[in-house]
Structure 1
């Protein structure tokens, strides 16, 4: 799959070992059977996650769960010279990638989805509660007391 040039520049800038002409590194978190997508991190973004995990008490269930997800169930890979990310067959099969792919940006990470699964899951778990109505345009939640 092709990685857009602007994000390749981010991956390059966020890889402390990257030099011009090198392939930028990224980390692909695949997770267990509950994860229906792949989550891609720049090297610096994953370093931040690792620092947060290290602050948790050693041996705690939260730390173990986060270590398993972000450290054990992930791979480090690179973008090739044509700007493409080649996913191993096992990861493509895990999320059911056959012909199409859906990428969803999330700030300093992006997700890779099977397009059909993405459509099914995008609003899953967003049930209405006192602070959230899934039937309104989400941009309404950007309103606030922020200074311009």
Structure 2
């Protein structure tokens, strides 16, 4: 069964950058880390990206390997490959879940997204995101609500799946 990251939750961030990962997210990381066995710490990669990205995107080992595999099929030296290498391989941070189910977010990553006392975890299917709650509410949530407000009253979001490839 392919597990996905689902749901949202708020977690405190301490002065050292430690933050608990939602338990269900930890189970997905374990299931999608080919080297994980009971007693080991699941690995993940946090992609922080360029200056426009206002959140941290966390990839299971299976998912980041799939991204890396796609990048490696691109022509060497191409501008597109170099760009993707920078965004997903250079501007990323490999880490692991500690024995207490927490991540330790380095100062650089916390400063990049303005993360202080609380983090918002959002499941995004194949990845999960860590946001400063106020940034998410003022930007992303506001965009979603505005878009939905522009739809007819009887709009069913599931109709968007009909537009998906193979839908």
Shift in Å, 1:141: 3.0
Q: Which residue of 1 aligns with 2:100?
A: 82
In the superposition, relative to structure 1, how do residues 37 and 106 fare at CA in structure 2: closer, same or farther (>3 Å)?
Answer: same
Q: Secondary structure at the match of 2:38?
A: coil
Question: Where in structure 2 are there 5+ consecutive unaligned residues?
Answer: 1-18, 163-167
Q: Which residue of 1 aligns with 2:158?
A: 142
Shift in Å, 1:74: 0.4
Shift in Å, 1:106: 0.8
Shift in Å, 1:134: 6.0
Measured in 2, the distance between the counterparts of 1:79 and 1:134 equals: 39
1:64 aligns with 2:82: yes
Aligned-residue RMSD, C-alpha: 2.4
In the superposition, relative to structure 1, how do residues 71 and 120 fare at CA in structure 2: closer, same or farther (>3 Å)?
Answer: same
Shift in Å, 1:69: 0.6
1:28 aligns with 2:65: no
Measured in 2, the distance between the counterparts of 1:32 and 1:17 equals: 29
Using the size of structure 2 for normalisation, the TM-score is 0.75
Question: Where in structure 1 are there 5+ consecutive unaligned residues?
Answer: none
Instruction: Give the number of aligned pairs.
Output: 141
